[in-house]
A and B are shown apart, each in its own frame.
Chain A
Amino acid sequence: MLHLQGLSKTYKTGDTALSDVSLTVPKGQIMGLIGPSGAGKSTLIRCINRLVEPTSGKVLLGDTDLVRLGKGDLRRQRRRIGMIFQEYALVERLTVMENVLSGRLGYVPFWRSFLRRYPPSDIERAYRLLDRVGLMEHADKRADALSGGQRQRVGIARALAQEPELLLVDEPTASLDPKTSRQIMRLLTEICSENNLPAIVNIHDVPLAQQFMQRIVGLRAGRVVFDGPPDQLTEAALTEIYGAEDWNAMRAGDREQAAAEAEAQARMEAIV
């Protein structure tokens, strides 16, 4: 269980990214974090594993307050938190297997990771995860030889290799096409429910969030302005999160796109 208490972050430039955010994510819950860009979604999830140092507040994972930890303790706690990134963030020149095994870095001594001599249980787990995400035969390929969707699957396997108690997911589908996006979201939700794993998912695509999330938190200018199940995410709530102007523009954009798509489809049918 993750517990955020009064989490705030003000950058050195004076920009306040988060102010007084308090949230609880129970075991097994998949929580979507939506909001306009600059609302502090990225900062929020990076404050949890302290890739960004929060200015004040508490991050309680189980009984441990992550904000107070020293370097060594922080490394040990980071093992409990898997992270999945927008641009996959795989190490491009390493093989798929090395990328998955890098999820074990916090558990093994330096010499083992340097010589790539991981314990047999780690290797077995890595293969099992690769099989789970459907990339068994790609284990020895270099990460940059894979397609976007495949790379994100490796990213998921790497995060799971940590045997995490929490998943942080930063815009998992922003660089993927709509169909692959849905496949990745389905895989993520399946894996979370298989392992009863809580997850916080930053997501800018509202329909996708409504389709896959159990709970949605809306962030605006660093504050929580909505917190509830997806079916309570009404027009009014979305207007509150995105601001009237932006929300209308987004909706108009969606409508235009849908219209253009329908038109293109009609034209294609006419040709065939």
Chain B
Amino acid sequence: MSVAYPTTWRRPPQIVKDRRWRIALQLGILIYLALAISTVDVNWTRVYDGLERGQRFILGFLQPDFASRWRDISQGLVESLTMTLTSTVVGVAISVPIGIGAARNLAPRWIYYICRAIIAVSRALQEIIIAIFLVAMFGFGPFAGFLTLSFATIGFIAKLLADDIEEIDETQAEAIRATGASWLQLVNYAIQPQVMPRLIGLSLYRLDINFRESAVIGIVGAGGIGATLNTAIDRYEYDSAGAVLLIIIGIVMVTEYSSSYLRKFLQ
């Protein structure tokens, strides 16, 4: 009566079925890795020098000096925060119409292609590249940073909003359309309620990305806390740089906690 069932089982190979091919492939990857690593040219004496410099760096961070450059730091901080908030607000405000236009189920074909093209351009250009370009155009300072972050926000929010609109529950839109609603009323009654919580969540997320980016683009001259950080490192004032970094970490943590709390509250 009793059947002897096997007591061992192995997951059958999913990609390469032949055992010999599998071993050859794994060996090939190993050899390639070894060859690739051997071509990396490392100057060990330079690494040793760097370690010493790194040590000074870390020592500086361990004794952050908030006081001696406080005026520069606070000014950079205010600039950064202003830049972050204004660029997020302006960016989101511009993103909403572009996002709606880039949703296949709402916009006519030609508007769809125009809006997707705007999004593609904004996403293709990295913040630093735009910042360099805009600093060259408008000069050093937070205005160039504000424009950079607004531009980057458009690509981010508009794309995610458009994708979200394309995934809505169509029957709700159909029902609103069937009442004789106009296009604007359709957007207001069928689309907005479905995408609003996510739009708010994305905007808060973007707020915190924009703050971090404001520190980076400051290095290429777009003002804010990044510029302060850059100056401190250029002057070998690692204690002040440490203070700046600690402040950035602190603020990112605060935005992280508060935005996740807000998002939970909105659901």
Contacts and interface: CB of A to CB of B under 8 A. Distances in A.
Contact of B194 (A83, A93, A104): A93
Contacts of A158: 175, 179
Interface residues of B, number: 21
A78 B178 contact: yes
A49 B174 CA distance: 11
B42 interface: no
B179 A89 contact: no
A51 B179 contact: no
Nearest to B175: A89
Interface stretch (B121-129, B132-140, B149-157, B181-189): B181-189
B63 interface: no
B180 A78 contact: yes
Nearest to B181: A105
Contacts of A75: 180-182
A49 B189 contact: no
Given A105-B189, A113-B188, A89 B172 contact: yes
A162 B185 contact: no
Interface string A141-175: 00000000000000100100010000000000000
B179 A78 contact: yes
Interface string A76-96: 111101010101011111100
B175 A106 contact: no
Given A93-B194, A94-B193, A106 B180 contact: yes
Contacts of B193: 91-94
B190 interface: yes
B71 to A, nearest CB: 47
Contacts of B176: 91, 102, 105
A182 B194 CA distance: 31
Given A79-B179, A81-B178, A90 B189 contact: no
Interface of A: 49, 51, 75-79, 81, 83, 85, 87, 89-94, 98, 102-107, 110, 113-114, 155, 158, 162
